[in-house]
A and B are shown apart, each in its own frame.
Chain A
Amino acid sequence: MKLPSVSFIAFDKRVWLLVLSGVLAILLGFYSIPGTAAILFVSKTGYWFVLASFVLFVRALWRTLGEHMRGLRWRSVDWGSAAIIGLGGLVLLVHETFGFKIIMDEIMLLGTSMSMHFDRTVLTPMRGNDIQGAFVILDGIMDKRPLFFPFLLSLIHDFTGYRPENAFVLNGLLTFVFLGLVNLAGRLLAGRVAGWIAVILFAGLPLLGQNATGGGFELLNLVMILATMLLGVRYLARRDEPAMTAFCLSGLLLAQVRYESTLYLLPVALVVLWVWLGERRVTLSWPVIFAPLLLLPYPLQHRIFELRTSAWQLESKPDYGTPFSLRYVPENLSHAASFFFGNPKNQPSSLVLSILGFVALPFFLLLLAKKVRTLRAESPAFASLAFFTIGFAGQFVLMMAYFWGKFDDPVIRRLSLPTNLWLVLGLVAILPQFPRAAFQRGLLALAVLGLIVSGVPSMAAHAYSQEYLPGREIAWCRQFIADHPRKDYLMIDSNSVLWITHEISATSPVEARRRIDAIAFHMRNHTFSAIYVCQRFNIDPDTGGMTLRDGDDLGPEFVLEPVREERLQVLTLDRISRLVELRPAAKAAVKPDDGSAVVPKDPKKIEKLRRDYLEKFVKELP
Chain B
Amino acid sequence: MPRLPLIPQVRADNRRLLLFVLCGVLAILVGFVAVPVQVAEDLIESTGYFYIAGLFALFVFFGWRVAQPRREVWQPWLRRPGWTGVALAAATVFVLCSDPFRHKILFDEYVLQATAWHMHATKEIGTVIRAYDLFGTWQPIDTFLDKRPYFFAFLLSLVHDLTGYRLANAFFLNGALAAAFLGLTFWFGRQLTNRTGGLVSVALLATMPLLGQNATSAGMEIHNLTMLAFTMCAALLYLRAPGEDRLALLCLSTVLLAQSRYESAAFALSSAIIVVAGWRRAGRIILPWALIFTPLLLVPYAWQNRVLSATPLLWQLQEGQKSRFALSYLEGNLEGAWKFFFNFGPSLANSWWLSALSLGALLWVGGGVFWRRRFPHFALRLERAPETVGLAYGLVVAGNLAMLMFYYWSRLDDTIASRFALPSYFIMALVVALVLQQLDRRWPATRLAFIGTGIFLFVSALPAIAHRLYTDENLVMQEVQWEHDVIASTGAARVLVISNKSTIPWVLWKIPALITGVARDRAEQIRWHMQHHTFDEVIVTQSLRPTTADGNFGVDPDDLLPKSYHLETIAVKRFGGRVARLCRLVSIDPPAAARAHPAGTPAS
**Which of A's residues lie within 8 Å of B, judged by CB?**
51, 117-120, 131-134, 136, 157-162, 486, 488, 521, 524-529, 592-601, 603, 606, 609-617
Contact = CB atoms under 8 A, between A and B. Distances in A.
A597 B556 CA distance: 10
Contact of A610 (B319, B478, B546): B546
B94 A595 contact: no
Interface stretch (B187-195, B263-271, B297-305, B571-579): B571-579
B97 A159 contact: yes
Contacts of A117: 462-463, 466
A609 B546 contact: yes
A610 B468 CA distance: 23
13 contacts: A117-B462, A118-B463, A118-B467, A131-B576, A488-B573, A525-B550, A525-B551, A529-B572, A595-B554, A597-B553, A599-B554, A600-B557, A613-B548
A161 B97 contact: yes
Contacts of A596: 554, 602
A526 B576 contact: no
Nearest to B463: A120
Main secondary structure, interface of A, reads mixed
A516 B465 CA distance: 36
Interface string B465-479: 111110011110010
B550 A521 contact: yes
B316 interface: no
Most chain A CB neighbours (cut-off 10 Å) among B465, B466, B573: B466
Given A610-B546, A611-B577, A614-B577, A132 B557 contact: no
B577 A133 contact: no
A592 B547 contact: no
B527 interface: no
Nearest to A524: B551
Interface string B92-119: 0010010010000000000000000000
B458 interface: yes
Nearest to A609: B546
A257 B325 CA distance: 59
B551 A593 contact: yes
B552 interface: yes
Contacts of B545: 599, 606, 609-610
Interface in B423-476: 458-459, 462-463, 465-469, 472-475
Nearest to A117: B466
A612 B550 CA distance: 9
A133 B478 contact: yes
Nearest to B572: A526
Contact of A134 (B465, B473, B577, B581): B473
Contacts of B474: 133
A161 B97 CA distance: 8
B322 to A, nearest CB: 18
B320 to A, nearest CB: 12
A524 B550 CA distance: 9
Interface string B561-591: 0000000010011111111010000000000
Contact of B547 (A524, A594, A597): A597
Contacts of B469: 132, 134
B395 interface: no
Given A598-B602, A599-B557, A616 B550 contact: yes
Given A133-B473, A610-B546, A617-B577, A525 B553 contact: yes
Contacts of B465: 158
A159 B551 contact: no
A609 B553 CA distance: 10
B549 interface: yes
Interface residues of B, number: 45
A486 B556 CA distance: 25
A117 B557 CA distance: 42
Nearest to A602: B557
Contacts of A600: 547, 557
Nearest to A614: B577
A120 B463 CA distance: 7
Contacts of B547: 597-600, 609
**Closest 10 pairs between A and B when the two form their complex, measured CB to CB:** A597-B554, A134-B472, A613-B546, A525-B551, A610-B577, A612-B549, A599-B554, A597-B547, A614-B577, A158-B462
A136 B554 contact: no
Contacts of B550: 521, 525, 613, 616
Nearest to A594: B569
B466 A613 contact: no
B159 interface: no
Contact of A162 (B466, B478, B544): B466
A118 B466 contact: yes
Contact of B468 (A51, A134, A528): A134
B106 to A, nearest CB: 13
Nearest to A157: B466
B573 A133 contact: no
Given A610-B545, A612-B546, 15 more contacts: A120-B459, A132-B473, A133-B575, A134-B467, A158-B465, A161-B100, A488-B574, A524-B551, A525-B551, A526-B572, A596-B602, A598-B547, A600-B557, A615-B549, A616-B550
A610 B473 contact: no
Contacts of A614: 576-577
Given A593-B553, A613-B546, A529 B467 contact: no
Most chain B CB neighbours (cut-off 10 Å) among A117, A529, A599, A610: A599
B555 interface: yes
Interface string B316-331: 0001000000000000
A119 B465 CA distance: 11
B473 A526 contact: no
Contacts of A525: 546, 550-551, 553, 574, 579
A118 B478 CA distance: 21
B548 A133 contact: no
Contacts of B553: 525-526, 593, 595, 597
Given A158-B466, A525-B579, A616-B550, A599 B555 contact: yes
Contacts of A158: 462, 465-466
B581 A595 contact: yes
Interface in B497-548: 544-548
A120 B579 CA distance: 33
A610 B577 CA distance: 6
A364 B113 CA distance: 72
A598 B557 CA distance: 8
B502 to A, nearest CB: 18
Contacts of B578: 610
Most chain B CB neighbours (cut-off 10 Å) among A162, A488, A596, A600: A596
A219 B237 CA distance: 55
A615 B248 CA distance: 60
A606 B463 CA distance: 33
B97 A51 contact: no
Contact of B574 (A51, A160, A527, A599): A527
Contacts of A611: 577
A601 B555 CA distance: 11
B97 A133 contact: no
A526 B555 CA distance: 14
B573 A529 contact: yes
A158 B464 CA distance: 10
B577 A595 contact: no
Given A525-B579, A595-B553, A609 B573 contact: no
Contact of B472 (A118, A133, A617): A133
Contacts of A526: 553, 572-574, 579
Contact of B475 (A132, A162, A609, A615): A132
A521 B548 CA distance: 12
A125 B165 CA distance: 43
B218 to A, nearest CB: 19
Nearest to A610: B577
A494 to B, nearest CB: 26
A595 B555 contact: yes
Contacts of A599: 545, 547, 554-557
A616 B549 contact: yes
Contacts of A157: 466
